[in-house]
Amino acid sequence: QVQLVESGGGSVQAGGSLRLSCAASDSTFSSYNMGWFRQAPGLAREFVAQIRWSGGFTSYADSVKGRFTISRDNTKNTVYLQMNSLNPEDTAVYYCAAQQIYSVKYEYWGQGTQVTVSS
């Protein structure tokens, strides 16, 4: 079972940047597609970004496209989310998740890290 630990959350003013990290315990990290999701108070969890196991393909929610960048370092078993031009609507708990290559769902989830953007 893969254990995921997010870090890097915090409070920032609108227009600022944060970089989230998600470290995986499993040495087979490179065989998982990785995703970032977020959940704001009172709202459903939503997709933010995804990166394939090889790092060769990424996708983003329209709301973050052009501002957020997902990347991974398979030698460090870590996936990152660089968030620029943050706005208050980005305030949420951010979760990373791991998906086995041929799975249709994300099987493993981290505990989440809070991101708060003030205007």
pLDDT at residue 26 in the model: 81
CA distance 5 to 24: 7
Name the percent of the chain lying above pLDDT 90: 87
In this structure, are residues 117 and 15 in contact, taking their beta carbons and an 8 Å threshold?
Answer: no
Cβ atoms within 10 Å of 84's Cβ, excluding its own:
14
pLDDT exceeds cutoff 90 at 1:
no
pLDDT at residue 102 in the model: 86
pLDDT tens digits, 62-106: 999 999 999 999 999 999 999 999 999 999 999 999 999 888 899
Residue 60 burial by Cβ neighbours in a 10 Å radius (0-12, 13-18, 19+): middle
CA distance 14 to 36: 21
Residue 50's SS3 state is strand
